[in-house]
Structure 1
Amino acid sequence: MRTPWRAVATRGRATVAGLRRTWRRSLQVRVVSITLVTSSLLVGGFAYLVADNITNILLNNAKADVRERLESGQVYAASQLDTHTQPYESGVQRTFESTVDYLAGGDPKQIGGAVVALTADGSTSIKTVTSPAAEVQPMISPELREKIAQGKVAHQIRTGDLGRGRLKYLVYGSPVPSRLGQVQLYYFVPLDRQDQTAAQARSTVLVTGIALVLLLGLLSALVTRLVVNPVRGAARTAQRLSAGLLDQRMAVNGEDDLALLAASFNQMATSLQSQILRLEEMSRLQRRFTSDVSHELRTPLTTVRMAADLIFAERDEFDPAVARSAELLQAELDRFESLLTDLLEISRFDAGFAVLDAEPTDLVPVVQRVVDRLDCLASRVGVPLELHLPDAPVIAEVDPRRVERILRNLVGNAVEHGEGRPVEVTLAADETAVAITVRDRGVGLKPGEEKLVFNRFWRADPSRARQTGGTGLGLSISAEDARLHGGWLEAWGAPGQGAQFRLTLPARAGDRLTSSPLRLVPADAALAIEGGARRPGGALAIGPAPVMGEDARAEV
């Protein structure tokens, strides 16, 4: 028995979820629904007021008519009973009957007329007289009888059977001046016609109201459709434009505001298309220029390099000034050659010619080799290098040349910006990924700079004295190398707390990353944040759009 109920509950939840989704996504559904609910409330309230007023008017008219008949009947009954002085006279009963017959209209059994009753209390010989003959005593409540006994004219609405079935009656009573004791005159007027008229009025108002609500719903749907369709068309056109279909345009119909919106949208799309095409052409020319210049400079650079090597080899035989110039020439040629190499690498990335030569590689010696090569530079600037490597090999399917280049750029930048404080290099791995972090405690990154560090030729502080003579393309190339692996290259930094870069690569080539074995935000900085300090920095991930795991979500 649980399974059917559970299935019904599941379908019910799915239906509710579908309705909620439709409510959130469809402007037309919201407008039509709100219009229907509002108009239903207004029309329902109006219909209730109209039906109530009609009922009151019919009842008041019936009361006025009965009151008028009651007054004339009271006078007539008093004049007829004035001929008797004692309730035991022989003609009293006949007088009662003739009076009731006259007041009832002459036909005691008429269907549409009122029932008339004369009652006399205090004598057993005079009974209640009605036209047509029926039992009216249950229709007269003690409260009504008491008010009439006090000399008042009173009325009430009662339901009973007076020979025509069970109907609702307007009961009006009045005392009749007489020497026979307490005589009371009652009129029982059926309200079936009034009820039928009121029911017909309510039905008419209800049907009219329902038709009006449906008409308002239809009109709101049509009007909303006139507005929503162009908006949906604009949304579809914008999606196609964002997908690269720059020739998509909206249809312009008429000269109204929506047509003006469509025309303005098309003008904007045309302007964006021309701007994008112009920028694409400029970018293409720029990439081609960079590639051509890089290749063209290779030949003269080779010649100049050969001459410079000869001069540099014989510098000991020159005077000190010329020897120093030879050393400067050699250093600048090294820097120039490094710039050309980076430009050629960037041009290969831009052209889509970069290829990943992945192979199973132990990253422990790769990290150790990079740190050893930069140890002389770190010693010269007074920055200690600290390595945290696992004891076991860390095997991953990577391109060792590109990974080494990434690490060389990261560690070199950390040494340059370390401000004489230690730089920590950490390697860790789990079942799906490997990660390397490079942490310095130098000047750090200002808010927003973590979004700029991977831009080409960007420097955090161009006025700083550089130790490594970089080209400004190292982090850009590193980001492209990480993306080529399907990995992440992320940056975190805060003024006064230094910076940390994290490289995360999949352990098997082609796998998708979901988390990283190492934190992006350093533990000491995370403790400061948890202590209540607002982090004045940020983090940025470079690579494929990550599906962040629990660890990564907590860090970035």
Structure 2
Amino acid sequence: MSDAAKRALLAGLRWTSLRLRLVVVFALVALTAAVSASGIAYWLNREAVLTRTQDAALGDFRQEMQNRAAALPLRPTPGELQKAAEQMAGGSAGYDVLLIGERAEGKPIVGTSDPDHFTLDDVPRSLREAVNERQGVGAGNSVPYHLYWQRTQRGSKPYLVGGTRIVGGGPTGYLFKSLDQERQDLNSLAWSLAIATALALVGSALLAQAAATTVLKPVHRLGEAARRLGEGKLDTRLRVSGTDELAELARTFNKTAESLEKKVADMSAREESSRRFVADMSHELRTPLTALTAVTEVLEDEADSFDPMIAPAVNLVVSETRRLGDLVENLMEVTRFDAGTARLVLDTVDVADQVTACIDARAWLDAVDLDAERGIMAQLDPRRLDVILANLIGNALKHGGSPVRVSVRTLDHELVIEVRDHGPGIPEDVLPHVFDRFYKASASRPRSEGSGLGLSIAMENAHIHGGDITAANSADGDGAVFVLRLPRDVSSLKDCDGHGDADADSDVDGVAGQDPDRGEGGAL
């Protein structure tokens, strides 16, 4: 997966995650509100239904106790109790009645409206004790006995059980009323509230989606605009509509992008001006350098005839003139890379022969150990490969320690050339900068034989081939290792040119390794 695809995927996940969080928050708020409202509504309705049923049954039972049970004789017969219980239960309240009287002192009798459905065992003991307990009569209590009730359950069905006794003597009565219908009504209400809660949850999710779309669409556009801005499309702007915070954010983004575009344009103009200045200066210096080079060649040929006091000065002029020529050629090569005019002139070469030719041309055969099998063919630019090898090997010879070993191998469709020396290695703080232009590892040696451009030019030549160079210290701590990786066939690169160009051909020896450097550090 490409980096752009990964970024798009991560951006999509983040966008979806934010949408999900909004939906979840909306859903939780709606769920909490719906459950709270449903719970309160259910509790209020439950109390209202049960209280209404309970009050109606207890009120009717009290009235029946006053009208029928109180009219019974002090010592009723079982038949009279039975008849009174049946008459009391025959009303519209829909409950069973149980009456307890005495036919003689200490001899209770029971009459019930439905012996198969309601017996004294169905009355909780605590309720019986409360009903039979005599209360003290006083200012706050005018009667010794009261009506008590309790909700109970038999099997899976709820019931209301109530009881009281006649003041002044008479039977004790209990009612037994089923609350199953009320429970069914409350269950229906609970289902209705649950459905309403679910609908509220679905509605909140839809509302959250709409809200998330409204909020996240501008945020998504802002993210896309920021991504395009990061990719270098500095003319990216957002359409501003409204006066809310998102609109203000869009205005701020547009102002920032406009300021950034202006600053980058100014910097690009200055950089282009500097690049043109370096290119023009290099071209202008070539003519006097040509004359100076011719003079220095004459002076070098006649060096033996000079006065011993003058010879050192002549040698200094010759070496500095050559150094200046190398610097001008390097600067021209750098300007070609910066301007994008550098081209490859491809040829199919034997890599071992190419490396051997590079080493032999500079008389390094005695100082370099070569490990390269013949027959490793690659299609590349021989001149630029020579530039890379000359800089890497020359750098190792200059700053590293002998012997310098060059090994060539292939890995899949890749050509790997390793240059290793046995010197002190490269300091860790210098490693990230060894390919920087004009980098000097030692500030105490700002003026050295190299220009600080050799390794950067080698890297540019590797890049134009579609390859790379890495620098590191060897694992055993004995020297530095530079590894060049190039594709064995670079003919598909867009910058390839089978015929070459005049500028490239004019400096075949300009950067051919006469300026090897590793950042120009004395410790290297």
Provide the TM-score with structure 2 as the length reference.
0.75
* Contact 1:427–1:437 (CA under 8 A) maintained in structure 2: yes
Cα gap change, 1:466/1:141 in structure 2, threshold over 3 Å: closer, same or farther? farther
* Contact 2:349–2:379 (CA under 8 A) maintained in structure 1: yes
> Identity percentage over the alignment?
29
Measure how far apart 1:402 and its partner are.
1.2
Q: Which residue of 2 aligns with 1:483?
A: 463
Cα gap change, 1:22/1:462 in structure 2, threshold over 3 Å: closer, same or farther? closer
After TM superposition, list the pairs within 5 Å mapping 1:16-415 onto structure 2.
25-71=16-62, 73-74=64-65, 78-84=69-75, 87=77, 92-94=78-80, 96-98=82-84, 100-101=86-87, 103-104=88-89, 108=90, 110=92, 113-118=94-99, 129-130=112-113, 135=114, 137-138=116-117, 140=119, 142=121, 144=123, 152=131, 155-158=150-153, 169-173=159-163, 185-191=173-179, 194-195=182-183, 198-199=186-187, 201-202=189-190, 205-206=193-194, 209-210=197-198, 212-214=200-202, 216-372=204-360, 385=367, 387=369, 389-415=371-397
Cα gap change, 1:55/1:388 in structure 2, threshold over 3 Å: closer, same or farther? farther
Cα gap change, 1:79/1:465 in structure 2, threshold over 3 Å: closer, same or farther? closer
Structure 1, unaligned runs of 5 or more: 1-17, 161-165, 380-384, 513-556
* Contact 1:431–1:507 (CA under 8 A) maintained in structure 2: no
Q: Deviations over 1:225-264 (max 9, x none)?
A: 4432322222222233334432221122333332222222
* Contact 1:74–1:176 (CA under 8 A) maintained in structure 2: yes
Q: Which residue of 2 aligns with 1:10?
A: none
Measure how far apart 1:307 and its partner are.
2.1
The whole-number CA distance in structure 1 between the counterparts of 2:406 and 2:102 is 117
Cα gap change, 1:407/1:59 in structure 2, threshold over 3 Å: closer, same or farther? same
Measure how far apart 1:189 and its partner are.
3.0
Measure how far apart 1:503 and its partner are.
0.2
Q: Deviations over 1:363-413 (max 9, x none)?
A: 22333344445566x98xxxxx45251445322222222112111111222
Amino acid aligned to 2:371: L
* Contact 1:82–1:178 (CA under 8 A) maintained in structure 2: no
The whole-number CA distance in structure 2 between the counterparts of 1:332 and 1:228 is 65
**Higher mean displacement: 294-303 or 40-49:** 40-49
Measure how far apart 1:196 and its partner are.
6.0
1:472 is the counterpart of 2:452 = yes
Q: Counterpart of 2:70 in 1: which secondary structure?
A: helix
**Higher mean displacement: 166-175 or 76-85:** 166-175
Amino acid aligned to 1:491: A
Measure how far apart 1:36 and its partner are.
0.7
* Contact 1:445–1:494 (CA under 8 A) maintained in structure 2: no
After TM superposition, list the pairs within 5 Å mapping 1:487-526 onto structure 2.
487-493=467-473, 498-510=479-491
Q: Counterpart of 1:137 in 2: which secondary structure?
A: coil
The whole-number CA distance in structure 1 between the counterparts of 2:411 and 2:196 is 73
After TM superposition, list the pairs within 5 Å mapping 1:415-494 onto structure 2.
415-418=397-400, 420=401, 422-447=403-428, 449-464=430-445, 469-493=449-473
The whole-number CA distance in structure 2 between the counterparts of 1:67 and 1:94 is 22
Amino acid aligned to 1:395: M
* Contact 1:77–1:176 (CA under 8 A) maintained in structure 2: no
Q: Counterpart of 1:321 in 2: which secondary structure?
A: coil
The whole-number CA distance in structure 2 between the counterparts of 1:141 and 1:56 is 28
* Contact 1:427–1:435 (CA under 8 A) maintained in structure 2: yes
Measure how far apart 1:218 and its partner are.
4.9
The whole-number CA distance in structure 1 between the counterparts of 2:258 and 2:127 is 92
The whole-number CA distance in structure 1 between the counterparts of 2:280 and 2:158 is 105
Measure how far apart 1:31 and its partner are.
0.9
Cα gap change, 1:184/1:158 in structure 2, threshold over 3 Å: closer, same or farther? farther
Q: Which residue of 2 aligns with 1:537?
A: none
Cα gap change, 1:109/1:271 in structure 2, threshold over 3 Å: closer, same or farther? same
Amino acid aligned to 2:82: F
Q: Counterpart of 1:320 in 2: which secondary structure?
A: coil
Q: Counterpart of 2:437 in 1: which secondary structure?
A: coil
Cα gap change, 1:390/1:174 in structure 2, threshold over 3 Å: closer, same or farther? farther
The whole-number CA distance in structure 1 between the counterparts of 2:428 and 2:99 is 101
* Contact 1:148–1:174 (CA under 8 A) maintained in structure 2: no
Q: Which residue of 2 aligns with 1:521?
A: none
Q: Deviations over 1:96-154 (max 9, x none)?
A: 324542x34xxx374x543434478999xx88542xxxx55345584537666767566
* Contact 2:149–2:160 (CA under 8 A) maintained in structure 1: no
Measure how far apart 1:174 and its partner are.
5.5
Q: Counterpart of 1:355 in 2: which secondary structure?
A: coil
The whole-number CA distance in structure 1 between the counterparts of 2:268 and 2:14 is 41
Measure how far apart 1:197 and its partner are.
5.4
Cα gap change, 1:406/1:461 in structure 2, threshold over 3 Å: closer, same or farther? same
Report which structure shows greater RCO (CA 8 Å, sep ≥6): 2
The whole-number CA distance in structure 2 between the counterparts of 1:248 and 1:289 is 31
* Contact 1:171–1:188 (CA under 8 A) maintained in structure 2: yes
Provide the TM-score with structure 1 as the length reference.
0.71
The whole-number CA distance in structure 2 between the counterparts of 1:329 and 1:253 is 70
Amino acid aligned to 1:328: L
Number of residue pairs matched? 464
The whole-number CA distance in structure 1 between the counterparts of 2:120 and 2:355 is 107
Amino acid aligned to 1:489: I
Cα gap change, 1:82/1:511 in structure 2, threshold over 3 Å: closer, same or farther? farther
Amino acid aligned to 2:387: R
Amino acid aligned to 2:230: S
Cα gap change, 1:198/1:363 in structure 2, threshold over 3 Å: closer, same or farther? same
Cα gap change, 1:493/1:397 in structure 2, threshold over 3 Å: closer, same or farther? same
